[in-house]
Amino acid sequence: RQAASEKRKLEEAQAEIEQLRGLIQDNELELRKLTARRADAERGREDAKEGCARAREMLRVRDLSIIEMRNTRDEAERQLSQKIAERASVRGDMDCTMRDFG
């Protein structure tokens, strides 16, 4: 009777060991999946950082381009104003000359 009891305890212990082995395998599989997901997430984060850096650089270049276009526009407006003033001055001189001549 004691031998049967010991055999039953041994079988229960073996069943529990098998159950624990199954849990360990399940946990190891879950760990591998989580590790892979973490690696994917880290790659995604790095890709996002690189994308942000590229976007910032594009904005910087665009801002420089806008500044350059504004400077070009301002210079063109300054030259136009100068030419209009010169033309007005020449017309004024011509009007004076025509009045003096006439």
Transcribe 42-54 into DSSP letters: HHHHHHHHHHHHH
* For range 69-88, the mean pLDDT: 96
pLDDT band at 52 (very low <50, low <70, confident <90, very high): very high
* pLDDT of amino acid 102: 59
The pTM (predicted TM-score) of the whole model is 0.57
Q: Which long-range contacts (CB under 8 A, 24 or more apart) does 78-87 make?
A: none
Query: What is the Cα–Cα distance from 63 to 56, expressed in whole angstroms?
Result: 10
Residue that has been written with the tokens 């276009």 in this structure: 69
